[in-house]
Structure 1
Amino acid sequence: MAHDAQLRALEDGLRAQDPRFSEAMDAGQPCTPREYRRGRAWLLLLAGLTALGAGIGIGHGLLLATGLVVAGLAVHLFDPDRPRPRGLFSPR
């Protein structure tokens, strides 16, 4: 009985953290957990590197700096252990 309660608590915690992954596990077709979904990070990195390249190409300092900042933000998104913000709309 105690093990059932622990498993139920783990299941509820997983459902609160990543509902998409939890629903896919219930259906028997698991998807990638949230920590390893990095589509937005790749797009942001591509945009940052594009702005960086354009800033170098045309010699525009503000565009160059913007590209560096955006690329740095994108690299930060690749960290799977980064703390998740707890805002108004985040699951608890």
Structure 2
Amino acid sequence: MPQSDDERLVDLEARLQQEDPRFADSFTHGRPARPREFRRARAWFALIIGAGLLLAGLVLPDGLMIAAGLVASGIAVQLFDPPR
């Protein structure tokens, strides 16, 4: 017996609430929020840290800081691409 549309919507709402509660709660308050995959605060923070390490490694001739800055910047760039 196929599920009714109401049951499917309730299941979808429950999964959305479990995956991203902030996004799901924004619908009840009438103020939409970005879904989790489009929030970029962690990526910007990691990019700033990586660029700071890279710049510090260039100012103070330290190869380990340059390498750490490049790795941190690479990780930050990967955070900007949402999972598909």
TM over 0.5: yes
In the other structure, the counterpart of 1:71 is 73
Higher helix proportion = 2
TM-score, length-scaled by structure 2: 0.90
Structure 2 gap segments, 5+ residues each = none
Q: Cα deviation per residue 1:31-64 (whole Å; 9 max; x = unaligned)?
A: 1111111111101101101111111122100100
Q: Using the TM superposition, name which of 6-15 and 73-82 deviates more.
A: 73-82
TM-score, length-scaled by structure 1: 0.82
| Equivalent in 7, 10, 13 of residue 9 of structure 2 | 7
In the other structure, the counterpart of 2:40 is 38
Runs (4 or more) in structure 1 with deviation over 6 Å come to none
Tell me how far apart the structure 1 counterparts of residues 43 and 6 of structure 2 sit (CA, whole Å): 38
SS at match of 1:44: helix
In the other structure, the counterpart of 1:86 is none
Size of the alignment, in residue pairs? 82
> Once the two structures are aligned, what percentage of the paired residues are identical?
46
SS at match of 2:56: helix
In the other structure, the counterpart of 1:89 is none
Q: Cα deviation per residue 1:1-32 (whole Å; 9 max; x = unaligned)?
A: 70001111111111011001101111111111
Tell me how far apart the structure 1 counterparts of residues 28 and 12 of structure 2 sit (CA, whole Å): 14
Structure 1 gap segments, 5+ residues each = 83-92
